[in-house]
Amino acid sequence: MPYRYKYYVVKREMCKKCNGSGYLMHPIWEKIHEENPTSLTENEIKEYFKKYGILEVPPEWLECDICKGSGFITEYVPLIDAIKETQSQLT
Give the span between the Cα atoms of 35 and 42, in whole angstroms. 16
Instruction: Provide the residue count of the chain.
Output: 91
| Contacts of the segment 57-60: beta carbons below 8 A, 24+ positions apart | 58/26, 58/28, 58/29, 59/26, 60/25, 60/26, 60/29
Residue of 64 and 90 predicted with greater confidence: 64
Helix (H/G/I), strand (E/B), else coil: 62: strand
Give the span between the Cα atoms of 11 and 46, in whole angstroms. 43
Domain ranges for the chain: 1-22+64-91, 25-59
Confidence of residue 21 (pLDDT cuts 50, 70, 90): very high
What confidence tens digit (pLDDT) does each residue in 36-79 have?
Answer: 878 889 999 999 899 999 999 999 999 999 999 999 999 999 99
